[in-house]
Amino acid sequence: MLVTGNDILVPARAGKYGVGSFNTNNMEITQAIIHTAERLRSPVMVQMSEGAIKYGGQDLANIVIDLARRATVPVALHLDHGSSYESALKAIKMGFTSVMIDASHHDFEGNVKETRRVVEAAHAMGISVESELGRLGGIEEHIVVDEKDAFLTDPEEAVQFIEQTGTDYLAIAIGTSHGAFKGKGRPYIDHARIEKIAGLTGIPLVAHGSSGVPQEIVERFRKAGGEIGDAAGIADEDLQRATGFGIAKVNVDTDLRLASTVGIREALMANPKEFDPRKIFGPARDVMSQVIEHKMRVLGSVGKA
Ligand code: G3H
Ligand code: 13P
Ligand code: NA
Ligand code: ZN
């Protein structure tokens, strides 16, 4: 069933488990996400970025909405990194049930102002809202507190921000970063900060940049002719700990990009004569399903729907 973000994330925060919010850009990705969720009885969020909307538009949104409506588990369609009020409103008109307004690059007051506008409009239509405070980026384990405080989310500010905006869930900067290169070795996650923010607030917290970049997938990518440098993601144990504290929405895009490319490369390598798209995109969908299943097990959302 198609539900709002709150319908999925409020129980997740209360139950101390995480729900994957996976980026989609086509039918196969959407099927892998929603069908895996059904198979594992897991709630799930499907998110489209502004780039995904540009690429797939209402056609892609309708695929997600149709699969969500027919699904036997709760599914929300979420706007990822909405850059403006107009963008959030456009997504709501397209049928999204959750929107992010990312005004984290503004100063605190500017962020509050932009977020509150979106919250007021979205709530009038029964849609829930994600916003962001702090700046995403990898951090070194041993940097001094002052440097961390410069961009990681400040707990006291988070309390003020939630009060002043009425945001339904909040993305916080805790050491994760976007993409396949999150640091050398295991990226440092500021668990003490998550625990502090969760202790002072009641709403679901969101972690962006949460791909695991599994070494097994990276090796298959290389073996199938792909080129990739020192790829590193967030450790499963770090994500598990974070969900225990109050991270309820866990954003994953990079892992699906890698998995689908591995499926396509392996299929083409194994049979250079192949040109049936189903024999090429089908394996991509299968590899993505495996990666999604692993993530759902790590986050503890399996069996929650
Ligand atoms: O955080 C960004 C997501 O990975 C979406 O990326 O804007 O290239 O679709 P995109
Ligand atoms: P990854 O790049 O780690 O998959 O993060 C995706 C994300 O945060 C989308 O908003
Ligand atoms: Na998002
Ligand atoms: Zn993100």
Specify which residues 170 forms β-bridges with: 131, 205
ipTM over 0.90: yes
pTM of the model: 0.98
> Where are the domains positioned within the chain?
5-299
Longest dimension (CA), the chain: 60
Rounded distance between C-alpha atoms, residue 215 and residue 233, angstroms: 9
> Are 136 and 128 within 8 A, CB to CB?
no
Helices and strands (H, E) in the chain, number of each type: 12, 8
CATH architecture of 5-299: Alpha-Beta Barrel (3.20)
Nearest by Cα to 67 from 29, 100, 11: 29
Rounded distance between C-alpha atoms, residue 22 and residue 100, angstroms: 14
Residue type, 151: F
CA 271 / ligand 3 centre spacing (Å): 38
| pLDDT score, position 143 | 77
| pLDDT score, position 192 | 97
> For ligand 1, is residue 23 a contact (CB within 6 Å)?
yes
> For ligand 2, is residue 208 a contact (CB within 6 Å)?
yes
Q: Does the pLDDT of residue 149 top 90, yes or no?
A: no
Task: Encode pLDDT of 249-286 as tens digits.
Answer: 999 999 999 999 999 999 999 999 999 999 999 999 99
Rounded distance between C-alpha atoms, residue 234 and residue 240, angstroms: 10
Residue 178 Cα: closest atom of ligand 1: 1
Active site residues: 80
| pLDDT score, position 125 | 98
Residue 213 Cα: closest atom of ligand 2: 3
